[in-house]
Amino acid sequence: MTHSTAPASTPSPVPPPMSEPLEARLFLGSLLRTEWTFRGGRNRIFVLVSGSGSIRLGQHEVRLDGPAIVFLPAGETGAIVFDAGAEGGAVSAQDSLLASAMPSGALFVPVRDAIGRPILGAAITVADARRLAAMLGAIETELRNDAPGAHEAVRHHLALLLIEIWRLASPLTEVSRATPRSVVRGFAHLVELHARQHWPVAEYAQLLGVTPDRLNTAIRRATGRSPMEFINQRLAAEAMRLLDQSPLQIGEIAETLGFSDPAYFSRFFKRETGRSPRAHRLGAPARRPSTSTSYAAWP
């Protein structure tokens, strides 16, 4: 079915700026052209069930014809336009929320890699498009109703959506072997999420689908540090941030970072930085942990 664009003199309705960590909405055959602009701060998923449109990234423009899916990781800037009559849905999510919805285990690496690059109008079946749109509708409903357990329900729907995107964009018969680069990126990402839980290195390796020895080799080659040194430096950097920027007592900071014993936290901090937490807070210089422990620092 062909859909015509609105006359040039008719302004296109532009959705209002989004301020929540996650927003979802369905669009069902609007009489006017609809446009979203994005400036790189969020991950965006668009499902075009029927109709047409276009997406612009920099100087490049790609035609969209439904049924199709678009995924734009955070950092991409441009605009997407849906012609009058187009039907589908959209989700916008901050990195932190998307990270919390990532599947664990052997799926973590391939799914994370799949959503690490743009998907510009990949053709899908009508049945797949309607199933994805139903997921977006479920997220929209949970956000609108805000019933008890809504946060967990949304995270569940978002996790299923990410797995579906991975399946449709990169159809595989089995989980692919993780590359060293993806292991390093995945490990840094997991450390951002779970450093405060003080997981053993073997647990990180299991989630990444590699052996502890392979994880150790990949991290040492990329950073010059062992996985545990990487984790400890990330914890020390976070401890410094809390000591510098929060009014929390040292014992409260220890608890926040997952240390059950404040004395052990103090020994840990001194070992990593050369100064006690109290001396650091009083202004004594310390060895600053490398900031490259942040997931965002990895290419």
Confirm if 1 and 50 have CB atoms less than 8 A apart.
Answer: yes
- Residue 38 sits in the same domain as residue 140: yes
The pLDDT value given to residue 106:
66
The pLDDT value given to residue 210:
81
Within-domain flag for 116 = yes
In DSSP notation, 229-279 reads HHHHHHHHHHHHHHHHH----HHHHHHHTT-S-HHHHHHHHHHHHSS-HHH
Confirm if 292 and 222 have CB atoms less than 8 A apart.
Answer: no
- Residue 28 sits in the same domain as residue 153: yes
- Residue 152 sits in the same domain as residue 126: yes
**pLDDT tens digits for range 106-130:** 677 778 777 777 888 888 899 999 9
DSSP 3-state of 137: helix
Tokens representing residue 34 in the block: 């609809």
The pLDDT value given to residue 142:
92
Q: Is the pLDDT of residue 84 over 70?
A: yes
Task: Give 19's strand partners.
Answer: none
Within-domain flag for 10 = no
Burial class (CB in 10 A: 0-12, 13-18, 19+), 55: buried
The pLDDT value given to residue 38:
82
Within-domain flag for 117 = yes
Task: Give 65's strand partners.
Answer: 52
- Residue 188 sits in the same domain as residue 268: yes
**pLDDT tens digits for range 205-233:** 877 778 899 999 999 999 999 999 999 99
Within-domain flag for 52 = yes
Confidence of residue 98 (pLDDT cuts 50, 70, 90): confident
- Residue 220 sits in the same domain as residue 286: yes
Tokens representing residue 138 in the block: 């479920």
Q: Is the pLDDT of residue 151 over 90?
A: no
Task: Give 10's strand partners.
Answer: none
C-alpha 120 chain-centroid distance = 18
Note down the domain range covering 264.
180-297
* Residue 154, phi then psi, degrees to nearest 5: -65, -45
- Residue 42 sits in the same domain as residue 153: yes
The predicted model gives 91-120 an average pLDDT of: 78
**pLDDT tens digits for range 187-210:** 887 788 788 889 899 888 877 778
Beta-carbon contacts of residue 193 (< 8 Å; ≥ 6 apart):
99, 100
- Residue 244 sits in the same domain as residue 291: yes
For residue 252, what is the domain's CATH number? 1.10.10.60
What is the rounded distance in angstroms from the CA atom of residue 144 to the CA atom of residue 208?
A: 35
- Residue 34 sits in the same domain as residue 59: yes
- Residue 30 sits in the same domain as residue 154: yes
The pLDDT value given to residue 289:
54
What is the rounded distance in angstroms from the CA atom of residue 39 to the CA atom of residue 75?
A: 7
CB contact burial 56-87 (16+ within 10 A = b; e otherwise): ebeeeeeebebbbbbbbbeebebebbbbbbbb
Count of the separate structural domains present in the chain: 2
Average pLDDT of the chain is: 81
**Listed ranges 208-217, 253-262, 286-295; the one with the highest mean pLDDT:** 253-262
Q: Is the pLDDT of residue 290 over 60?
A: no
What is the rounded distance in angstroms from the CA atom of residue 94 to the CA atom of residue 19?
A: 10
- Residue 144 sits in the same domain as residue 227: no
Domain finish residue from 111, 143, 169: 169
**pLDDT tens digits for range 239-257:** 999 999 999 999 999 999 9
Confirm if 219 and 184 have CB atoms less than 8 A apart.
Answer: yes
The pLDDT value given to residue 111:
80
The pLDDT value given to residue 46:
93
In DSSP notation, 205-233 reads HHHHTS-HHHHHHHHHHHHSS-HHHHHHH
Within-domain flag for 13 = no
* Other Cβ atoms within 10 Å of 242 Cβ, number: 18
What is the rounded distance in angstroms from the CA atom of residue 137 to the CA atom of residue 140?
A: 5
The pLDDT value given to residue 277:
94
Within-domain flag for 8 = no
The pLDDT value given to residue 293:
44
pLDDT cut 70: percent of the chain above it:
84
Confidence of residue 236 (pLDDT cuts 50, 70, 90): very high
